[in-house]
């Protein structure tokens, strides 16, 4: 188990500052960058993903299914916030005690994927999102996660983040796919399979 992160010292007293009115924002290290910078795109998409995960968790609670996935998704939300903060920081400004994703976060996802896969039948085709709102939301989370991963890959290519950041998003998108399949069987409905001749 890794050492704990330093607890954040956040004090939000005023929501708007007008500092971004001209299309720039500040990174954790204080640098000003355009709001369409690759770094902003990466952590902004991670933030969007966190919001979608929130929707998934609401649906899980309302359906009363997959409490193990819901508990893990709460951890995922914390990990995504950690990742967003790390992506909002130049590598040279990152500190070991600052929140970030860790190898054990990936291991936790892999364990969940392996467990969920054990009880699922083999696929005979690709799966279409749908069948239930929960299934569709999990696929939405998967696709937003892939977009966050692509943004992180662009950042990685320019030396702006760590491979671990990309690996976490890659594994998380795999987890969303398996959880969507698990949700279909938990709600006792058939998966919607791709049939190319039904287009």
pLDDT interval class at 14 (50, 70, 90)? confident
CA dihedral sign of residues 169, 172, 177, 180:
negative
Tally Cβ neighbours within 10 Å of residue 25.
16
Question: Is 7 part of any domain?
Answer: no
Q: Which helix (H) or strand (E) holds 38?
A: helix 38-63
Domains: count for the chain: 1
CA distance 159 to 176: 28
Question: Is 1 part of any domain?
Answer: no
Question: Is 17 part of any domain?
Answer: no
Using one digit for the tens of pLDDT, what is the confidence trace for 73-103?
999 999 999 999 999 999 999 998 999 999 9
Question: Is 15 part of any domain?
Answer: no
Tally Cβ neighbours within 10 Å of residue 15.
5
Using one digit for the tens of pLDDT, what is the confidence trace for 125-177?
999 999 999 999 999 999 999 999 999 999 999 999 999 999 999 999 999 99
Question: Is 13 part of any domain?
Answer: no
Contacts of residue 44, Cβ cutoff 8 Å, sequence gap at least 6: none
pTM for this predicted structure: 0.92
Inter-residue contact 163 to 106 (CB < 8 Å): no
Q: Which residues lie across from 26 on neighbouring strands?
A: 32
Question: Is 127 part of any domain?
Answer: yes
φ/ψ (deg, to 5) at 24: -125, 160
Q: How many helices (DSSP H) and strands (DSSP E) are in the chain?
A: 5, 4
34: domain range? 24-91+106-198
Q: Which residues lie across from 175 on neighbouring strands?
A: none
Question: Is 4 part of any domain?
Answer: no
Question: Is 135 part of any domain?
Answer: yes
Terminal C-alpha separation, the chain: 50
Q: Can you give the pLDDT at residue 52? A: 98
Q: At 119, which CATH number?
A: 1.20.1200.10
């Amino acid at each position: 188990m890794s050492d704990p992160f330093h607890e954040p010292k956040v004090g939000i007293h005023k929501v708007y500052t007008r500092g971004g009115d001209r299309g720039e924002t500040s990174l954790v290290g204080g640098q000003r960058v355009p709001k369409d910078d690759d770094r902003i795109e990466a952590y902004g998409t991670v933030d969007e993903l966190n919001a979608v995960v929130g929707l998934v968790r609401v649906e899980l609670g309302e359906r009363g299914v997959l409490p193990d996935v819901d508990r893990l998704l709460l951890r995922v939300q914390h990990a995504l916030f950690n990742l967003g903060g790390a992506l909002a920081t130049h590598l040279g400004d990152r500190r070991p005690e600052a929140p970030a994703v860790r190898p054990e976060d990936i291991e936790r996802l892999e364990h969940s994927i392996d467990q969920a896969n054990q009880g699922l039948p083999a696929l005979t085709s690709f799966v279409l999102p749908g069948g239930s709102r929960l299934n569709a939301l999990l696929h939405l989370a998967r696709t937003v996660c892939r977009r966050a991963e692509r943004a992180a890959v662009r950042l990685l290519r320019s030396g702006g983040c760590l491979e671990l950041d990309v690996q976490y998003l890659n594994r998380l998108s795999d987890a969303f796919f398996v959880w969507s399949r698990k949700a279909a069987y938990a709600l006792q409905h058939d998966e919607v399979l791709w049939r190319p001749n039904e287009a």
